[in-house]
């Protein structure tokens, strides 16, 4: 299980290391090869020299070499120092003083979509978006839930009543509806999406931490620490949190799955990341009409299956109490 999560985290950090072209957001459109089947080979001319940098493995290339896609009937030729390209029979392009040209072949392992974008590359980059936002939201939600749960369970009184009232109020609203309202109010963007998901998913963690802290603060070692006059901060970090380790890991695993589902749902509805960013939910929104067309069902099944597998993996990790 840990090995699988390690692979997913590496792909989340270095997605451009496993895709053929490192164009930012995998937004390059392969003209003349729209909705091509899996395994299609695409010939193209690369004009200019590609400059490799290790940062491109993480963020992609801001300035990729110019590419001219050739159809099956396309051809090119030189006349002195000018490059003439005829990608299709009715189009003629020329590039004077062309410095360097290489003919390459690109393989679309999972085919292309209606805009000619490589489905495999966007699926890998969608992992970064969905899992990355899910992880950030999970950290924020677990941190907020732990803090509020500790305050409610340790101090009790009006603080506990206030936090319980807040949890009950938010819990009475369906999570998806609450996330939609917050996403609409905060607007699009990665940080706003992380904040939206965190504000929706912190409640379960706070409830579990509150219950455990109420039980632990009656233990003799906590009473002894209080009798010695240790500050509350030290009691939290040195005595309470180590005894909440297993519970927090379970909460984190379950929260990660819910966060990925919420991110995918909001992106599906157009309330998630920016349109140019690859996301599994956004891909599902764009490709689900092809689910009923023979030969193109994989466009919708791939992102939908990826969401289901990662969420099930997260929930299975929570059940086993380990990553």
Q: Does position 65 have pLDDT exceeding 50, yes or no?
A: yes
CATH number at residue 303: 1.10.3720.10
Spatial CA neighbour of 209 closest among 247, 252, 249, 266: 247
**Rounded-to-integer distance, Cα 183 and Cα 177, Å:** 10
Q: What percent of the chain has pLDDT over 70?
A: 97
Decide if pLDDT at 320 tops 70: no
Boundary (domain end) residue, out of 108, 129, 153: 108
Residues 65 and 46: beta-carbon distance below 8 Å: yes
Domain around 228: 119-320
Whole-angstrom Cα distance, residue 225 to residue 235?
7
Q: 142 and 81: one domain?
A: no
Q: Quick one: pLDDT band at residue 323, thresholds 50, 70, 90?
A: very low
Look up tokens 């695993």; give the residue: 253
| Mean local confidence (pLDDT), 302-315 | 92
Total domains in the chain come to 2
97 and 142 fall within a common domain? no
Residue 15 forms part of a structural domain: no
Model confidence band, residue 322 (pLDDT cutoffs 50, 70, 90): very low
Q: Poorest-confidence range of 191-205, 259-273, 309-323?
A: 309-323
The most confident of 45-49, 55-59, 130-134, 244-248, by mean pLDDT: 130-134
Return the closest-CA partner of residue 202 out of 159, 130, 152, 267.
152
Instruction: Kindly state whether residues 203 and 126 are assigned to the same domain.
Output: yes
Looking at the fold, whether 164 and 287 belong to one and the same domain comes out as: yes
pLDDT tier, 276 (very low <50, low <70, confident <90, very high otherwise)? confident
Over residues 115-156, the pLDDT tens digits come to 999 999 999 999 999 999 999 999 999 999 999 998 898 888
């Amino acid at each position: 299980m840990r090995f699988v999560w390690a692979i997913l985290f590496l792909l989340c950090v270095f997605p451009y290391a496993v895709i053929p072209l490192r164009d930012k957001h995998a937004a390059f459109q392969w003209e003349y090869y729209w909705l091509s089947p899996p395994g299609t080979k695409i010939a193209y001319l690369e004009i200019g020299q590609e400059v490799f940098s290790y940062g491109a493995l993480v963020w992609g290339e801001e300035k990729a070499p110019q590419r001219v896609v050739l159809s099956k009937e396309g051809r090119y030729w030189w006349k002195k120092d000018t490059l003439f390209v005829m990608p299709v029979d009715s189009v003629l392009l020329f590039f004077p003083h062309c410095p360097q040209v290489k003919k390459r072949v690109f393989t679309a392992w999972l085919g292309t979509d209606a805009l000619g974008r490589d489905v495999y590359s966007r699926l890998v980059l969608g992992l970064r978006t969905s899992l990355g936002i899910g992880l950030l939201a999970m950290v924020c939600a677990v941190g907020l839930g732990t803090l509020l749960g500790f305050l409610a369970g340790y101090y009790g009184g009006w603080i506990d009543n206030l936090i319980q009232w807040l949890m009950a109020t938010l819990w009475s609203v369906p999570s998806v509806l609450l996330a939609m309202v917050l996403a609409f109010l905060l607007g699009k963007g990665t940080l706003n999406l992380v904040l939206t998901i965190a504000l929706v998913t912190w409640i379960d963690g706070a409830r579990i931490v509150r219950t455990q802290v109420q039980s632990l603060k009656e233990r003799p070692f906590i009473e002894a620490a209080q009798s010695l006059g240790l500050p509350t901060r030290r009691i939290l970090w040195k005595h309470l949190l180590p005894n909440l380790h297993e519970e927090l890991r379970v909460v984190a695993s379950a929260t990660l799955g819910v966060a990925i589902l919420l991110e995918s749902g909001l992106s599906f509805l157009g309330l998630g990341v920016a349109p140019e960013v690859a996301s599994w939910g956004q891909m599902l929104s764009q490709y689900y009409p092809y689910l009923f067309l023979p030969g193109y069902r994989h466009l919708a099944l791939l992102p939908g299956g990826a969401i289901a597998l990662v969420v099930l993996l997260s929930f299975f990790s929570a059940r086993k109490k380990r990553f």
